[in-house]
Amino acid sequence: MKGCRVLLVYPNERDMSLVPPVFGLFAALLRERGHIVDLFDCTGYDFEGKFDAAVETEKALMVKPADPASYQGVKVKQTNMYDDFAKKVEAFSPDLLAVSVTESTFLRGISLLDDFRFKRKNNILTIIGGVFPTFAPDRAFREPSIDIVCVGEGDVAFVELCERLRDSKDFTDIPNLWVKKSNGNTVKNRTGPAVDINSLPPLDFSIFEDDRYYRPMRGNIYRMLPVETHRGCPYTCTFCNSPTQNELYEAESQSKFFRKKSVEKIREELVNFKEKWNGEYVFFWADTFLAWTSNELEEFCEMYSEFKIPFWCQSRTETISDSVGGYEKLKMLKDVGLHHMSFGMEHGNEKFRREVVDRPYTNESAIAALKNPVKLDIPFTINNIIGFPDETYELAMDTVEINRQFDSFSLSCATFAPFKGTALRTLAEKRGYVDSELISPPNSSWSTLDMPKFPKEKIFALQRVFVMYSKFPKSRWPEIKKAEALTPEGDAILKNLKEEFLATYFKDSEPAINKVNN
């Protein structure tokens, strides 16, 4: 029987260079059932309002500069994205256009569908899914170019939709799907149980162009692809939607959203990564990689010793403290290929971090835990956020202060984004800092919150010098303070400081973990 023809659409607003696993997963799921799959990838196109994540993080000194993406990896496209999308649809002739979005890519995805449906007069069936439609389904459903919204995971629902389209069967009762019927009525089905992630096939990345497999890490370019080890997170950070995913699945289907893949399943995917995709570097796709039991981690390390491919992962400081054998955990991981880690600090004021961000560890415990990777010469990045609801400049400087206690290779400073489905979005709306209709743009340096005590200009000014405050000696702070000024004079000082920073901290091909000069 002839399969359904599905065109996946990736509206990559930020030119994120890592290939997202969801598209590789959907390609694998559909192809193993005989469906025909292709992809339209917006990566590399130039369009108004584009935020290039790689360029912006380099400019803010958050990563070691790498060769330009246009030379290795993502290639810049000179043609018109909307024209190319129309040509792709015409050539492929899909039965279904399927768009996966976050909040920051939602409007770009809609613009593609609107252009095709209303400007070019084509009425192909459309479905949109991802984290934003999951937590703002009514908002997504309002778009006239959207026919179906997937609320929650699409692993089962999306495949079932394609099966029924192939068989010309009614699909309005599929769990997780909200459907606009031809008579004008709508059907909003409940969310089904979370999928068994150990039942999923290895990812199929062949829908992407080969140059999309390359990504920078610590100043070098690797053939890097994601491997999922966990889905969801057991923690309850208020800026993240994972806690709300847990609540959604518990309420709708009495199932657990946070799941771990078996070590044997991960091994199967690593074999695929190595033999089929010739991967050079593993990006472990997990919110909290060390959310393993001790036995699970030992089993993983024993298995991974077969591969010893360099890898990146992220975790929390609590998972590497001495009380849980953090040094021993990290040593096992380094022995089998750990190349770089990231840890979320997010905020440096204990009271604010506990009461607003819901991360109830002490500064003392975080400082002690992060001595363990230093002892093992494991380079790591500290992730931070400024511009939280109710934050002030003085509170944000507490985050600078704690970063000065870490011997990190690099650190990041993101501006808080009030994403739908997070507790802090609710707080921001309650305080009147954002309108309930706001759709958060890509994580730019400019805040979307209107806070009298911490205006957008001050957040932007601090974000652009955050790394320098954290790494340069305090004797340089008066000069750095001048670089906060959003004036030609401030910009000139900033430029000189950046050049000095790059020459001081990112001068070698491999990092030397420098002690902070207080």
Q: pLDDT tens, 314-339?
A: 999 999 999 999 999 999 999 999 99
- Its pTM stands at 0.93
Pair of tokens at residue 129: 């899914």
Q: Whole-angstrom Cα distance, residue 511 to residue 249?
A: 43
Q: Look at residues 479, 343, 483, 476 and name the one whose alpha carbon lies nearest to residue 402.
A: 343
Residues near 360 by Cβ (< 8 Å), separated by ≥ 6?
353, 354
Quote the pLDDT of residue 52: 60
Quote the pLDDT of residue 71: 46
Quote the pLDDT of residue 56: 64
What single string gives the DSSP state of each residue in 69-136?
Answer: TTTSSSPPB-S-HHHHHHHHHHHH--SEEEEE--HHHHHHHHHHHHIIIIIS----EEEEESHHHHH-
Q: pLDDT tens, 192-231?
A: 999 999 999 999 999 999 989 998 888 888 999 999 999 9
pLDDT band at 76 (very low <50, low <70, confident <90, very high): confident
Tell me the domains of the chain and their CATH numbers: 5-188 (3.40.50.280)
Q: Look at residues 360, 340, 341 and name the one whose alpha carbon lies nearest to residue 350.
A: 360
Average pLDDT over the chain, rounded to an integer: 92
User: Is the predicted pLDDT of residue 517 greater than 60, yes or no?
Assistant: no
Half-sphere exposure of 383 (CA within 13 A, CB side): 13
Q: Decide: 113 and 133 in contact? Cβ < 8 Å.
A: no
The radius of gyration of the chain's CA atoms, rounded to the nearest angstrom, is: 23
Q: Whole-angstrom Cα distance, residue 141 to residue 144?
A: 8
What single string gives the DSSP state of each residue in 153-178?
Answer: --TTHHHHHHHHHHTT---TT-TTEE
CA dihedral 327, 330, 336, 337 (to 10 degrees): -140
Q: Whole-angstrom Cα distance, residue 235 to residue 365?
A: 17
Quote the pLDDT of residue 514: 47
Quote the pLDDT of residue 503: 87
255 class by beta-carbon count within 10 Å (0-12 exposed, 13-18 middle, 19+ buried): middle
User: Is the predicted pLDDT of residue 490 greater than 70, yes or no?
Assistant: yes
User: Is the predicted pLDDT of residue 190 greater than 90, yes or no?
Assistant: yes
Q: pLDDT tens, 410-464?
A: 999 999 999 999 999 999 999 999 999 999 987 666 999 999 999 999 999 999 9
Quote the pLDDT of residue 57: 66
Quote the pLDDT of residue 518: 44
| Region of residue 403 (phi > 0: left; psi between -120 and 50: alpha; otherwise: beta) | alpha
Residues near 172 by Cβ (< 8 Å), separated by ≥ 6?
179, 181, 187, 189
More confident residue, 140 or 504: 140
Dihedral of alpha carbons 15, 98, 116, 210, sign: positive
- The residue type at 30: L
User: Is the predicted pLDDT of residue 511 greater than 60, yes or no?
Assistant: no
What single string gives the DSSP state of each residue in 385-418?
Answer: EE--TT--HHHHHHHHHHHTT---SEEEEEEP--
**346: phi then psi, degrees, rounded to nearest 5:** 70, -50
State the DSSP H helix or E strand holding residue 479, giving kind and residue range, or none if neither: helix 477-483
Q: pLDDT tens, 334-388?
A: 999 999 999 999 999 999 999 999 999 999 999 999 999 999 999 999 999 999 9
Q: Decide: 439 and 107 in contact? Cβ < 8 Å.
A: yes
Q: pLDDT tens, 39-60?
A: 999 998 887 766 566 566 666 6
